[in-house]
Amino acid sequence: MENIVIDVCDLKKVYGEQTVLQDIDIGFEEGSCTGIVGNNGSGKTVLFKCICGFVKPTEGYVKVNGKIIGKEVDFIEDAGIIIETPGFINSLSGLKNLEMLAALNDKIGREEIIATLETVGLREAMNKKVKNYSLGMRQRLGIAQAIMERPGILILDEPFNGLDKIGVVEMRGIIKDMNKNGTTIIISSHNNEDIKELCGRVIELDGGMIKNDTQYK
* CATH code assigned at 167: 3.40.50.300
**Of 31-40, 59-68, 146-155, 208-217, the least confident:** 208-217
Residue type at position 168: V
In a domain, 74, yes or no: yes
25 plus 74 within the same structural domain: yes
pLDDT of residue 216: 85
Residues 12, 47 share a domain: yes
Residue 40, CA atoms < 13 Å, CB-side half-sphere: 1
Whether 28 and 186 have beta carbons less than 8 Å apart is answered as yes
Strand order in 209-215's β-sheet? 79-82, 153-157, 184-188, 33-37, 201-206, 209-215
pLDDT for the residue 217:
66
Q: Give pLDDT, residue 158.
A: 93
Q: Which tens digit of pLDDT belongs to each residue from 162-205? A: 899 999 999 999 999 999 999 999 999 989 999 999 999 999 99
Residues near 209 by Cβ (< 8 Å), separated by ≥ 6? Answer: 21, 22, 23, 24, 43
- Close Cβ partners of 25 (under 8 Å, ≥ 6 residues apart): 8, 9, 10, 11, 210
Indicate if 178 and 132 belong to the same structural domain: no
Residue 190 lies in a domain: yes
Lowest pLDDT segment from 66-70, 75-79, 86-90, 211-215: 86-90
Number of structural domains the chain divides into: 2
Q: Which domain holds residue 110?
A: 91-149
**Same-domain status, 14 and 104:** no
Please check whether residue 43 lies inside any domain of the structure.
Answer: yes
The answer to whether residue 86 is domain-embedded is: no
Average pLDDT over residues 37-66: 95
What is the structure's pLDDT at 58?
A: 97
The answer to whether residues 130 and 138 touch, using CB atoms and an 8 Å cutoff, is yes
Averaged pLDDT score across all residues of the chain: 95
- When pLDDT is averaged across residues 114-119 and rounded to a whole number, the result is 97
Q: Is the pLDDT reported for residue 88 higher than 70?
A: yes
69's CB contacts (< 8 A; 6+ apart) are 50, 51, 52, 53, 61, 62, 63, 75, 76
| Non-local CB neighbours of 87 within 8 Å, separated by 6+ positions | none
Instruction: Decide if pLDDT at 85 tops 90.
Output: no
